[in-house]
Structure 1
């Protein structure tokens, strides 16, 4: 049975800060992160999806957390194919004379600029790596990226750009997992040494649970489309706890991230899931490669 690490996909989003989950006495960014780390041993840093943080920022994250705490860091969105505001790019990499409010795609930049973005992203990871806080790089590809030869090359190239660091690949388009293609997709990720990200979301069918590399990963986005609370019932979390225990038997480490993004609901659901994980019985019938 592998180690299960549990956390949420943010520790400082605006709704969380006003939800009352943090004590009133916790007022600083470092204090909030330290408090979060007293409740969970894993977090996904998602601010890096919107802009590459400075190494000084990630060094401060490491300093605010105890030994044994882990950051999974989401790759800068432009690097995984998402349209990105020009203003989010470092000023010296922005094309001259272009409105900073527009959104660019990776193909809109010269290759040397893309290389420099990867270089700066890895520099941002260095302090976490050096402090033994870095878990995996989360490569969240756009939901419209359908399976095909060009898309496969893009995924594999992006995994390769992670160099020696673990990578976890999130593919949302259903074509990657339709019929026999599911096995091919998992085999592709396994051969590339990348973890497959299992995602529970209202916009997708029930997730295929599999391990292709470590750390394995499951991300929760709730399941009720249109729900204001985006929460999980106790029974659903109990069922998931059993599935997670069984999945962890195929991985030395399993990362579980709650991302319900609704005024502290992720943290509350995560705390309840932690209770059920402590008493769960593994559920049979899962698939691993």
Structure 2
């Protein structure tokens, strides 16, 4: 059984639903997830970045997928240092704890609710990782290291993956420092594929910082990354030749990590699922097969 799991960064993206990839009769909430899980062994839950996860939803996700199916969950924006609007918080969020002041009390509330929301996935053995995608203004330095250490304390015992958005984390001599920092906290480094001609591009390095897990996220190679609409940023269809470039690196990661998650984030129409299907085909026996069909 191979240890490379290939999937996408959403199964509910409106553009995917409109694309026609889901067949008739499988377009409701339960049908979409079951159909997706028949074809891929892993998915990233991106909705938990925009709103705190709910235990009920996590339980339904477990019920609607076969044993062995894996969920990577994106950390809520308040926990990663991104701006968080009051309207994204639950209706019963305490009025005295506005999200924008990031008080100790507000952060404790957010952490408690996020932890409870993903507990059904963890309890069922379905939680592959919690992805902390830090903002581009978090650059290497003492303040960032303190924030990372605080995150590590809050997530002790969790399978955590970290994606930095500021390229200096992985440039030149900083790369080894970053690798050691994540390894010291027991966090998996996230490698990315993106347009390398942009000033904000992260180098496509793929270090293993946690023996249990390595993660690679394919953002597409749009020149509009960092600007324009979401569709502009993520509109990109990978060719087989571009995916083949990554095969040696993915196999090298699989030799060093117990599990490798390969996730496509070019979520425009059906581009991500098509790229995931192509990568699975190109990896062949190296890719984890699709789970058994749910009945």
From 244, 258, 268, give the equivalent of 1:262. 268
Of 209, 212, 219, the residue aligned with 1:212 is 209
Alpha-carbon distance between aligned partners in 2 of 1:81 and 1:205, rounded to the nearest angstrom:
19
Q: Which runs of 5+ in 2 are unaligned?
A: 225-231, 287-295
- The aligned counterpart of 2:146 is 153
Residues 147 and 95 (structure 1 numbering): CA distance in 2 closer, same or farther, change over 3 Å?
farther
1:278 maps onto 2:284 in alignment: yes
Greater length-normalized contact order (CA 8 Å, ≥ 6 residues apart): 2
Q: Is the 8 A contact 1:242 1:277 kept in 2?
A: no
Instruction: Quote the residue 2:40 is aligned against.
Output: 40
1:27 shift after superposition: 2.5
Q: What is the distance in 2 between the residues matched to 1:91 and 1:278?
A: 47
Match of 1:231 among 230, 237, 251: 237
* 2:227 match: none
Q: Who is 1:112 aligned against?
A: 105
Deviation at 1:96, TM superposition (A): 5.2
Distance 1:205 1:80, change over 3 A: closer
Structure 1 range deviating more: 40-49 or 239-248: 239-248
Q: In the alignment, what sits opposite 2:65?
A: 65
Give the aligned length: 273
Pick closer, same or farther for the CA change 1:34–1:63 going to 2, 3 Å: same
Q: Which runs of 4+ in 1 moved over 6 A?
A: none
**5+ residue gaps in structure 1?**
99-103, 281-289
Q: Is the 8 A contact 2:165 2:202 kept in 1?
A: no
Greater Cα offset, 195-204 or 4-13: 195-204
Partner residue, 1:9: 9
RMSD across aligned C-alpha pairs, in angstroms? Answer: 1.9
Q: Residue 170 of structure 2 contacts residue 202 of structure 2 at CA under 8 Å; is this kept in 1?
A: no
CA distance in 1, matches of 2:2, 2:201: 27
Q: TM-score, normalised by structure 1?
A: 0.89
